[in-house]
Amino acid sequence: MPHIIIEYTDNIKDEIQIDDLLKKINDVLISYPSIFPIGGIRSRAIELKHYRVADGSEDDAFVHAILKIGAGRHESDKTKVCDKLFETMESHLASLFSKRYLALSMELSEFSDFGTYKKNNIHNRYK
């Protein structure tokens, strides 16, 4: 962990530069190696084709991020990372936000140790 999932509406697919956004997000998470092991970082994006925003009368768009982490991090660390991730999203999407109706959001989902199964040999590369 952490895993981050970016959902975005297909009406912005040509402008969002999603690969660049995923790289920036990974760079943020990598910059906190004492909080998150590099080998556990996963980011992915899901383009949404079926959605409805507000009353559906406009060509509204949204980008929603879900940061999933394992239990046990300090509240101050979680706040620091989430603030930086959302700031990164805002910066990356600033020009798009200035040109169209766009909703940005992010949530933190923290797993308990119970019910989480993991096996990962990528960590070995970073020891």
Give the active site residue among 2, 63, 81, 92. Answer: 2
3-state secondary structure of 5: strand
Please give the backbone phi and psi of residue 88, each rounded to the nearest 5 degrees, phi first: -65, -45
Neighbouring-strand partners of residue 5: 44, 66
Smallest Cα–Cα separation from 4: which of 39, 32, 35, 29?
Answer: 29
Determine the Cα–Cα distance for residues 12 and 1; give it in Å rounded to an integer: 28
Q: Tell me, yes or no, if 2 is annotated catalytic.
A: yes
Determine the Cα–Cα distance for residues 115 and 99; give it in Å rounded to an integer: 43
Determine the Cα–Cα distance for residues 67 and 5; give it in Å rounded to an integer: 7
Q: Would you please indicate which residues are annotated as catalytic (active-site) residues?
A: 2
